[in-house]
Amino acid sequence: MSLRKLVLFAIGFAPMIAVAAPLSPLPGTWVSRMSLPNVPPQVQSEMDRMLPEFCIRKGETHPPLSPQARADHCRMLSQKPLEGGSRVVYACRARGQSFRVQTDIRVAPNRKSFVEHTRVLRGPGAGMGETTISNTWVGPRCPVQRTR
């Protein structure tokens, strides 16, 4: 799995995991910053520019699913609570390949930030390291409907 596909894949899991967290992020506009292992600063900066603002609307517990997440045909295998969040393991089948993914999410007590740690446990991309996405609340107003 290429670095770009792994990044898009990790971005896609963020919305699905947020629903499982005991604390849900505040409604409003959010921005993300990604941290990848062993990636040069120039590539890191480019990846951050790929992450558009996204909106969590009132009554929603997670951002809209990205096109990549919808394309990966994933199903939840297990879910367990962690302090301030949860861990979910998914089985996925995309582009003719099966893989298993684990995502941990931690929501801050003030609900104005949450951090996601995603890694491929088995299949293409396994052993490539953990992808970390830090999400920060910008404010209560949402722009015109945008997806991640």
Whole-number percent of the chain with pLDDT over 90:
11
113-119 contact pairs (CB < 8 A, 24+): 113/25, 113/137, 114/18, 114/21, 114/25, 114/85, 116/10, 116/13, 116/14, 116/17, 116/18, 118/9, 118/10, 118/13, 118/14
pTM (2 decimals)?
Answer: 0.71
pLDDT at 28: 92
- The stretch 117-145 carries a mean pLDDT of 86
90 pLDDT exceeds 70?
Answer: yes
- The stretch 63-81 carries a mean pLDDT of 69
Kindly indicate the confidence band of residue 121, based on its pLDDT and cuts at 50, 70 and 90: very high
Q: What is the pLDDT of residues 26-54, one digit of tens each?
A: 889 988 888 877 888 888 888 878 877 88
